[in-house]
Structure 1
Amino acid sequence: MKASHPLQLLDKLNEKLSERSNSQREKEKTLGGSSRQGGTMHGVAAA
């Protein structure tokens, strides 16, 4: 099995992204951006 489930892959990706985008999230918080970490990712996962 390459990938048990696409969502699991997204979870792993989100983990790595969250580590990297921590500082970016702070910037977005200051800007009041609604697209925080994984914002678009979750949208894609829901599709």
Structure 2
Amino acid sequence: MIEYLAFQIIEGKLTYQKVMTKFSANKAEIDAILRREGREDLIEEIEGLK
């Protein structure tokens, strides 16, 4: 599921912000996948994220 979400962000089907509003507990894993795929540019700093 986490990998699916990360690839949806990469493909532009979901935004990073939208994914983080529902799956913030998985932020580290999603960020790691984005970095692994060379898409660190998609990682955003989101205020108030827990």
- Superposition TM-score, scaled by structure 2 size: 0.34
TM-score of the pair, normalised by structure 1:
0.36
Select the structure that is richer in helix: 1
